[in-house]
């Protein structure tokens, strides 16, 4: 059993093999993958292997509504460097749950957990420059554009960052 993170409307739970069908549904959805470099042509066995892989990193959560209890998406801290307490954040929501502020709630909760319980100091987000909803979300929760840093593999990616101090500052001003 790993950490569960609760918010007003959501519970974030470590992904399990019992999430297979929901993960398949999410990760083969072309609309969700529009700005993510991902082959959506996956079968259940490949998604199962993916779950087994990401379960090893301890920070891959499913996002679930509370009442009724429904799987709505995922959020993760990955590409972790413990020498600097760095992680990247990744998140995706099923289309029918977008536009309701739910991912903002999930990102705020995972940042709080990352900085105040899991020992991270700095979190980055790599997002496609045309992914307007993702950019708005990052700015809403306090990420700042990292000027001068590029993704050498993809020039359409822009990078946002937030550190522990900034996050604490943004809470103080809410
Ligand atoms: C990126 C993504 C998670 C953003 O989802 P989202 O639902 O727009 O994000 P939020 O939870 O911040 O919701 C914000 C929207 O809900 C609205 N909203 C409604 N009630 C709200 C509330 N109580 N609080 C905040 N926002 C609320 C906001 O006005 C905003 O709508 P707008 O964009 O029309 O202004 C979603 O588009 C997604 O899953 N995309 C596919 C995967 C992806 O690209 N991931 C990013 C990879 S880097």
Whole-number pLDDT of residue 29 = 97
Q: Give the residue numbers spanning the domain of 133.
A: 5-172
Atom of ligand 1 nearest to the CA of 126: 48
Whole-number pLDDT of residue 61 = 98
Could you read off the pLDDT of 15-32 as tens digits, one per residue? 999 999 999 999 999 999
Whole-number pLDDT of residue 169 = 55
* Ligand 1 pocket member 129 (CB < 6 A): no
Q: Based on the structure, what is the number of domains in the chain?
A: 1
| Long-range Cβ pairs for the range 135-143 (8 Å, 24+) | 135/160, 137/103, 137/104, 137/107, 138/107, 140/104, 141/104, 141/107, 141/108, 141/111, 141/170, 142/111, 142/166, 142/167, 142/170
The sheet that has 70-81: what strands, in order across it?
5-6, 10-14, 60-65, 70-81, 86-93, 122-128, 157-163, 144-145
Which residue's alpha carbon is at the smallest distance from atom 30 of ligand 1?
Answer: 99
Which residue's alpha carbon is at the smallest distance from atom 7 of ligand 1?
Answer: 98
Secondary structure letter of residue 29 according to DSSP:
-
Whole-number pLDDT of residue 15 = 98
Atom of ligand 1 nearest to the CA of 105: 11
Taking 50 as the pLDDT cut, the residues of the chain under it are 171-174
Q: Ligand 1: which of 12, 101, 123, 129 to mutate, judged by most atoms within 8 Å of the beta carbon? A: 101
Nearest CA-CA partner of 5 in 13, 70, 107:
13
pTM of the model: 0.95
Q: Residue 89 is part of a domain; what is its CATH number?
A: 3.40.630.30
Atom of ligand 1 nearest to the CA of 35: 44
């Amino acid at each position: 059993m790993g950490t569960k993170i609760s918010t007003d409307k959501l519970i974030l739970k470590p992904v399990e093999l019992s999430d297979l069908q929901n993960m398949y549904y999410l990760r083969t959805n072309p609309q969700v993958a529009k700005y993510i470099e991902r082959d959506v042509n996956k079968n259940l066995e490949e998604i199962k292997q993916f779950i087994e892989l990401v379960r090893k990193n301890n920070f891959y959560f499913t996002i679930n509504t509370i009442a009724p209890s429904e799987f709505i998406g995922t959020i993760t801290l990955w590409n972790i460097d413990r020498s600097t307490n760095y992680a990247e954040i990744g998140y995706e929501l099923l289309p029918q749950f977008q536009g309701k502020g739910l991912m903002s709630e999930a990102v705020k909760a995972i940042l709080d957990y990352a900085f105040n319980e899991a020992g991270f100091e700095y979190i980055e987000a790599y997002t496609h420059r045309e992914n307007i909803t993702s950019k708005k979300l990052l700015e809403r929760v306090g990420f700042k554009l990292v000027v001068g840093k590029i993704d050498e593999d993809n020039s359409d990616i822009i990078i946002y960052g937030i550190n522990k101090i900034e996050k604490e500052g943004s809470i103080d001003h809410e």
